[in-house]
Structure 1
Amino acid sequence: MKKIEVIDLLDHLSRIYLGRFKADERTLDAWYFHLADQEKDEILNNLKAYVAINKFPPVVSDLLSNQINLNYFNFDKSFSNGE
């Protein structure tokens, strides 16, 4: 990602998570350090998936992995036969 793209990402996060996420120049530098070699579209897709299921702001590692691939507990499979 380019630095301007990380700025846009942090600005977007501050608008989604009102009052919960505030970025300053040091935050920008830290996020850019970790996201510089990432593809913008992949990070934005991961953000979209993250926001859909999380009410708290992400950390960098949350956006480096795709949150869609969560394993959910299958209640019916585990308990439907009375075992």
Structure 2
Amino acid sequence: MDKKQTAVILEIIATMYQNKFKVDNKQLLLDLWFDTLKEYDFEAISENLKAYYKQNKFPPSVADLLHVTEKRDRALPTIEQTNQLLLGYEQAKQDKADPQQVAAALKEMRKTLGIERG
């Protein structure tokens, strides 16, 4: 996110929370918010802000906007996503190494590292 996009986020907050979001030093606020948000995607933060102001009557802090992203990332997967995960697990089971190959590889690693099995 760039500084202009950060300013847009602050403008939206100021508009949505007209009497509750008062700032004495706008440049300092912009600098601080930008420093925190610069590594985040503008669209994601905008969506978080929309979700936030639909449920909260007080202005958000920067952390509030980041927290919504984390919540969304923990959402339950769709049926299709679940099926894809299960197929991946099944494929992983089939791709497991033979126990004898694993034992031989571990023996070789112990030998290379000078570890004696006792």
Query: TM bucket by the smaller chain?
Result: 0.7 to 0.9
User: Aligned partners of 2:57, 2:5: CA distance in 1, in Å?
Assistant: 23
- Identity percentage of aligned residues: 37
* Structure number, greater radius of gyration: 2
- Out of 18-27 and 1-10, give the one that drifted further: 18-27
Gaps of 5+ in 1: 70-83
Query: Match for residue 2 of structure 1?
Result: 2
Match of 1:47 among 39, 46, 49: 49
Q: TM-score, normalised by structure 1?
A: 0.76
Moved runs in structure 1, 4+ residues, more than 4 A?
none
Aligned residues: 70
Tell which has more relative contact order, 1 or 2 (C-alpha 8 A, sep 6+): 1
Q: TM-score, normalised by structure 2?
A: 0.55
Gaps of 5+ in 2: 72-118
RMSD: 1.9
Report the CA distance between 1:60 and its aligned residue: 0.3
| Larger helix fraction of residues | 2
